[in-house]
Chains A and B, each alone.
Chain A
Amino acid sequence: MRKASRREDRAMLDNSQSAIDLVEAQEKIAEALKVPVYTVSDFLAVCNQTLEYSFSTTVIVGEVASFKVNQGRWVFFDLKDEESTVSCFLPAWELRTSLEDGMKVVVKGVPKVTKWGKFSLTVKQVRPMGEGSLKKALEMLRRKLAAEGLFDPARKRELPRDLSRIGVISSTQAAGYADFCKILNARWGGLTVLTAHTQVQGLDAPDQIIRALRYFNERSDVEVIAIIRGGGSADDLAVFNDEKLVREIAASKIPVITGIGHEVDESLADLAADVRASTPSNVAEMLTPDKKAEIKRIERMVSGLSLRISNEIEACREQAKLKLPDAKIMQVIADMRESIFEWRQRMNNRMSDESRGMRTATTSSRSRLVDFMRREMERRQKDLLAQKKILAVVNPDDTLKKGYAIVSGDLSEGNVVKITTFRKTLEAQIKKVKERRQNA
């Protein structure tokens, strides 16, 4: 025991002596050669500093090989072309797309030499590129997120109606954004649109869109968030298949509508959104009613009212004809004539009011209605005159005045009947009844 302890003490002294010797040797060599002399650790630190300074934003394209995930935490793969290979590394949580061997990718990262002297690229971002790789990555990620329930229809929320504030995430230079604004302004008014200007393509776009989503969710003063981007290549639109972005959309407290690319371009962002519009213009159409259609609907509503009123007047007149005895019809008609006269007076006054101040566009529909009402009243007045004439013709007094008499009662032999002349009423007994031959 004592011997062993002595050996350890001796080894420590030897090591300390070695370290001192090394430093002394380093200083002597540096002095002799007039150049810096490093320890291994210092040398690697200087190398890494130089690499980071020279290649701070290195972007490399290549093909993935030897892809593996260790312990679910570390991702390793080689990036290669026909002649060369570079090792790549990143933490698993920073991988925002699905990868597999053979995929073409674009990688952004910082080169580094490890303490074991191995050169590798610490990856900051990696995206598939090229149609085949994009499709494959998209399909793999779609399956993964679908399995987690991110695209379930039950998660989708309806967009609120009667919007007043809309949050938009787009590039303000994008054609799609201009289309959205144009259609929105043509369809509806009175809205406040807050636009977060972000990149909508390129490696940095997903993070910018995520920041904008978080910004709107923190503000909480918009009722819906619209993510807009016009058409583009599969590479351009790959931004919207970024795993973190898709998850952020699904987690948004505020409902999200997407209008990305064209009808045929369906991204994972579209699947995670509450509502997917086919284009940026379609986003504007889905968020707002069309004011032209709304004006027509209002015109239809109010134009039906005059018809409703005239139908009611007609119904009243018919009812009066059926229920009232002949003697009262004249009175009813006189009342109606009076009410229609008053009605016409009021309408005339109203037309005068309108002609003073109303706008031409908005009065056109109403003046049509007023014309309709006026024509309707004129027609009814003509009806009234015609009915008055008919009643005058059949008025019994007018007939009696001409010397005719009305005989009423049972016209059988022996019965007593009532005879009415213009001035007198008589009772007479029937002595004989004969059939009269008519000239017809």
Chain B
Amino acid sequence: MPKNEKNSKKKLSEKMSELEKMVDWFYSDEFSLDDAEEKYRKAMELSAEIENDLDNLENKIEVINRDFSDGASI
């Protein structure tokens, strides 16, 4: 079943920005070895989810049921 709901798309873009924020943390002043392992694990899981979404999301292509040859003169 194609997953093409607007929500899925929004979620994908949200996930991507979340991952970017996570990665930024590793290069910020807040970085600490104590938290690194947990953050690393989360980043890996999120990246796997994103890859999964990208591989499986399908586009919905719909032809509009309307006759454009018929209508008011232009």
Interface residues in chain A, defined as those with a beta carbon under 8 Å from any beta carbon in chain B: 162, 164-165, 172, 181, 184-185, 188-199, 204, 206-212, 215, 244, 291, 294-295, 298-299, 301-302, 304-306, 308-309, 312-313, 316, 343, 346, 350, 358-359, 361-363, 365-366, 369
Q: How far is the CA of A244 from the CA of B16 in the complex (A)?
A: 42
Instruction: Closest A residue to B32 by CB, please name it.
Output: A312
Q: How far is the CA of A195 from the CA of B68 in the complex (A)?
A: 12
Instruction: Closest B residue to A366 by CB, please name it.
Output: B44
Instruction: Closest A residue to B62 by CB, please name it.
Output: A194
Q: How far is the CA of A215 from the CA of B19 in the complex (A)?
A: 38
- Chain A residues whose CB sits within 8 angstroms of the CB of B47 once the complex forms: 298-299, 301-302, 362, 365-366
With known contacts A192-B59, A197-B63, A211–B26 Cβ distance under 8 A: no
B61 and A302 contact, CB distance less than 8 A: no
Q: How far is the CA of A343 from the CA of B19 in the complex (A)?
A: 23
Q: Taking the nearest CB of chain A, how far is it from the CB of B24, in angstroms?
A: 10
Q: Taking the nearest CB of chain B, how far is it from the CB of A340, in angstroms?
A: 11
Q: How far is the CA of A192 from the CA of B62 in the complex (A)?
A: 8
Instruction: Closest A residue to B56 by CB, please name it.
Output: A189
Q: How far is the CA of A244 from the CA of B73 in the complex (A)?
A: 12
With known contacts A195-B64, A361-B55, A207–B73 Cβ distance under 8 A: yes
- Rank and list the top 5 A-B pairs by shortest CB-CB distance, nearest first: A189-B57, A190-B9, A190-B57, A208-B68, A291-B54
Q: Taking the nearest CB of chain B, how far is it from the CB of A348, in angstroms?
A: 12
**What are 22 A-B residue pairs whose CB atoms fall within 8 Å in the complex?**
A172-B63, A184-B59, A189-B54, A190-B3, A190-B4, A193-B62, A198-B68, A199-B69, A206-B74, A207-B71, A207-B74, A208-B68, A210-B74, A291-B55, A295-B51, A305-B23, A309-B36, A312-B33, A313-B33, A350-B41, A358-B48, A366-B48
B interface secondary structure, majority: helix
With known contacts A164-B9, A212-B68, A312-B31, A302–B62 Cβ distance under 8 A: no
A185 and B59 contact, CB distance less than 8 A: yes
Q: How far is the CA of A172 from the CA of B3 in the complex (A)?
A: 23
User: Which residues 1-43 in B have Cβ within 8 Å of A in the complex?
Assistant: 3-6, 8-10, 12-13, 16, 19-20, 23, 26-27, 31, 33, 36-37, 40-41, 43
- Chain A residues whose CB sits within 8 angstroms of the CB of B41 once the complex forms: 350
B61 and A162 contact, CB distance less than 8 A: no
Q: How far is the CA of A208 from the CA of B68 in the complex (A)?
A: 5
- Chain B residues whose CB sits within 8 angstroms of the CB of A204 once the complex forms: 69
B69 and A208 contact, CB distance less than 8 A: yes
Q: How far is the CA of A365 from the CA of B43 in the complex (A)?
A: 13
Instruction: Closest A residue to B33 by CB, please name it.
Output: A312
With known contacts A207-B73, A369-B44, A195–B57 Cβ distance under 8 A: no
Q: Taking the nearest CB of chain B, how far is it from the CB of A248, in angstroms?
A: 8
A305 and B26 contact, CB distance less than 8 A: yes
Instruction: Closest A residue to B37 by CB, please name it.
Output: A346
Q: Taking the nearest CB of chain A, how far is it from the CB of B61, in angstroms?
A: 4
Q: How far is the CA of A184 from the CA of B4 in the complex (A)?
A: 14
Contact of B64 among A196, A316, A361 (CB under 8 A): A196
B48 and A190 contact, CB distance less than 8 A: no
Instruction: Closest B residue to A172 by CB, please name it.
Output: B63
Q: Taking the nearest CB of chain A, how far is it from the CB of B12, in angstroms?
A: 6
A195 and B62 contact, CB distance less than 8 A: yes
B9 and A298 contact, CB distance less than 8 A: no
Contact of B27 among A189, A209, A308 (CB under 8 A): A308
Contact of A164 among B6, B16, B27, B56 (CB under 8 A): B6
Contact of A359 among B12, B26, B52 (CB under 8 A): B52
With A190-B8, A196-B64, A309-B40 already in contact, 20 other A-B pairs whose C-beta atoms are closer than 8 Å: A164-B6, A188-B57, A189-B53, A191-B9, A195-B64, A196-B66, A204-B69, A207-B73, A212-B68, A215-B66, A244-B74, A294-B54, A298-B50, A301-B47, A302-B43, A308-B27, A309-B33, A309-B37, A358-B48, A359-B48
Most chain-A CB neighbours within 10 Å: which of B5, B26, B61, B63? Answer: B61
